Amino acid sequence: MRHITLLGVGLLIANSAYADLGQIPKTSGWSGSLLGGVNVINYESNFYSGDDKNARINDLGNADSTSSVSPLINADIRYTFADTRTQVFLGNLIQDAIRFDFTQQLGIRQEMSDKGIVAGSFVFSALPIEGWSNPFDRMNERQATDIKSTGVRFSWDGIWGSNFFTSLTTRNIEVDEERSGQGTGYEALLDRNGKMHAFDLSYKWDIAPSQTLVPAFIYREADLDGRAQSYKSNGVQLTYAKRASQWSFVSNVYLGQTKYDEANPLFSQKADSDEFALGGTFFWHRLFGVEPLSATFTAGYTKSDSDIGFYDTEATLFSTGLLYAF
């Protein structure tokens, strides 16, 4: 699972980096955003099936390079009850969409005077990730399968009136046809079904007018049925955001490490890895003179360097689209 989610990590844009999107409006009614565009990705991964171009492999070495083009579609819809400072929401935050994380949320947010905004939500994958049913199969053409997730998320923005932001997510991972290591006798150690937990803590620092710096600590833990697939990951992220009247820009850099619980029996060693991601998104506002319409341009690079070459992952991502805020 780590190698599939790393493709989605992409830009790792913090939820607080574009903070105006997280405020609860002062008036009751509908608000949100719609995003449509196109993604272009070039990736090397032995776990993400993509368009199935690498269905057959001859050895357990590094993955071949693959390119694909896909639509970028996203919606974030909210309704605010101004009198109680309450907001219900459905969809995917734009901050998540521009880093290729399409986790959907259905939840409620509550402003607590000067104590910040707390939220609870049900999280789910409306579009399942496509992975290989048995990534290690060298004898046959590998078959793609859906990897789904459902869970809950709790967050607190502006903790106790400060500039700290945090979120805690736990979700259940279900691989429709899990056949990792089939026929080797190691199926139990390689099972990718189970639980995943995530904890993020960030600090929003306004370093200058219309400029924000957000350092963050990111922790991930996969408690999967297969101990050789279970891991703990720690990372640090630095986000820079600049706002101007006509345009905005958000950039990120991420460094992290992943440590696995047990050795992969097919390689007789753990798949521990170092991770790096770099990227940015540019917004051009008031496109064609339309106040709520913006153009978006995103570029990112991510790499996971594992002790096992088969687990190495690398991806370059580009996207462009139109964002309509209401």
Answer yes or no: are the C-beta atoms of 295 and 287 closer than 8 Å. Answer: yes
Residue 174 pLDDT more than 90?
Answer: yes
pTM beyond 0.95: no
Band the pLDDT of 188: cuts 50, 70, 90: very high
Count of CB atoms situated within 10 Å of the CB of 151: 19
Give 93 or 80, the one with higher predicted confidence. 80
Distances, alpha carbon 324 to alpha carbons 105, 114, 190, 250, 314, in Å: 19, 30, 43, 18, 31
More confident residue, 125 or 195: 195
Considering all CA atoms of the chain, what is the largest pairwise distance in Å, rounded to the nearest integer? 63
- What is the pLDDT, as a whole number, of residue 96? 55
Report the topology of domain 2-325. Answer: Lipocalin (2.40.128)
What does the alpha-carbon distance between residue 107 and residue 200 come to, in Å, rounded to a whole number?
18
CA atoms within 13 A on the CB side of 135: 24
Q: CB under 8 Å, gap of 24 or more: what pairs does 139-145 form?
A: 140/56, 141/55, 141/56, 142/49, 142/54, 142/55, 142/56, 142/57, 143/55, 143/177, 144/49, 144/52, 144/55, 145/49, 145/175, 145/176, 145/177, 145/178
- Average pLDDT across the chain, whole number: 87
CA distances 196 to 57, 181, 213, Å, are 29, 21, 28
Concatenated DSSP letters of 109-166: EEE-GGG-EEEEEEEEESSPEEEESSTT--SS---EEEEEEEEEEEEEESGGGSSEEE
Instruction: Specify the pLDDT at position 259.
Output: 97
180 in Cβ contact with 207 (< 8 Å): no
pLDDT band at 101 (very low <50, low <70, confident <90, very high): low
Q: What is the pLDDT of residues 277-320, one digit of tens each?
A: 888 889 999 999 999 999 999 898 989 999 999 999 998 989 89
Cα 280 to its chain centre, rounded Å, is 14
**pLDDT confidence band for 219 (50 / 70 / 90):** very high
Query: pLDDT tens across 144-153, in order?
Result: 999 999 999 9
Domain limits, the chain: 2-325
| Across 7-33, average pLDDT | 61
Per the listing, tokens 């290591």 go with 181
Segment among 21-25, 212-216, 254-258 with least mean pLDDT: 21-25
